[in-house]
Every structure is written in C-alpha cells, then in structure tokens.
Amino acid sequence: MDNHPRPDSSPFRPDLSLDALIVLGARLNPRDQPGRVARLRLTHALQLWRHLCPQGYVLLTGGVRPGCGASEARAMADWALDWVGEEWGEALREALKSCLILEEASRTTAASAYHTLSLVQGLGFQNIGLVTDAVHIHRAAFIFRRHFHPRDITVHPLPARGLVRHYWHNRRYWWLGKMALREGGAWVKALARLAFRTEKR
C-alpha cells in the first residue's frame, strides 16, 4: 500500500493566467528531505506549473529550522527536480530548473509572505498562484492577501487536497488532532496581530 498522500485530482483552470506559483514549505524529515506534507504540496504545484504556467516561475519558500542541515526551500527544489526528471524526463527537468526561485529566510507563513513580496515585486508579477495543503490554505491566503493586495498583486489560492483523507484512511487520528490544534493556534496569533495593529492605528 502506498502510504504517501497524493493530491486529489481536480480540473485545471485554463482561464487562469499566472506569472508564478509560490509553494509554501513544510518540515523536513530526519534525512533533510521533504516530508509527506511538503511532497503533497510539491506534486500539486508541479502539475499546476506544467499545465497552467509552464513559462512561469516556481517560488519555493522555507528557511532552515533548528536541527536541520538544509532549508526547506532547497530540499524542496532538489526533490522537485528529481521527481520531474523521473516522471517527465530531462527536458522538463531543465525547464523547471530555469524557473525555480528559492526564498530561504522564512520559518513562518507570515515571514514567507513578507519575504516573497519583494521578490514578486522585483520581477513585476501581478498574478500569483499560492500553493499549500487544504488545511493551511485559508490562513495562508488571508496572510498573503494582506501583504500582496495593497500592491495590486492578485493571489489565487490553489490548495493541494488529500492530506486529511490520507491521515484518516491510515488512522492517524493523533496527527489530525495535532494539525487542527496547530492551525487553530496559528489563526489566533494571526488575528491577534491584526487586532493589535488596528488598535495602534
């Protein structure tokens, strides 16, 4: 049995014109390779890149966490290039290599939004696809839109689905509970920061 989560198949949107995809990082495994959450996000993003914006850029964001020997962005880039080479061939691997941009300073969603904004502005992009898993996408889109929309940059949420189903199917209820608590706590922090900034104004 394949115990790795796979993105649910869903129709691509041929009407959607994107300058780039931003793929949010996730924790690495003990071998400094992308874990199952990061792999789910990556395989979904790579399908989107191939079908929606093969001429666009893929911006991978994620810094170095304590105890890790590589940044999330670097580990995701290496894994993505290997995966594309094995699945789609050397020509597409080289095409992806020329499209990758790494942001290796961020360790939170808010930091990713802050650091990728300057990169996106510098390249003159106006339409961005935001890729993360379906559990994370609502908070991530909320944070990115608060950073990007005032600069007239449109953020299109493009969630990778299937993570919750994977954990449920494999009876990893503890992981599901942990994910829910972590995401709920992160929402509280995000809204608290927003309220604090509003009060200061």
* CATH code 3.40.50.620 for 20-169: yes
Structure confidence by residue, pLDDT tens digits, 131-156? 999 889 999 999 999 999 999 999 99
Query: What is this structure's pTM?
Result: 0.84
pLDDT of residue 142: 95
22, 2, 18: which is closest to 159 by C-alpha? 22
pLDDT of residue 162: 74
Burial of residue 98, with CB atoms counted within 10 A of its CB: 0-12 exposed, 13-18 middle, 19 or more buried: exposed
pLDDT of residue 177: 72
Q: Where are the alpha helices (DSSP H) in 31-131?
A: 36-52, 72-88, 90-99, 109-123
97, 128, 157, 116: which is closest to 19 by C-alpha? 128
Structure confidence by residue, pLDDT tens digits, 60-75? 999 999 999 999 999 9
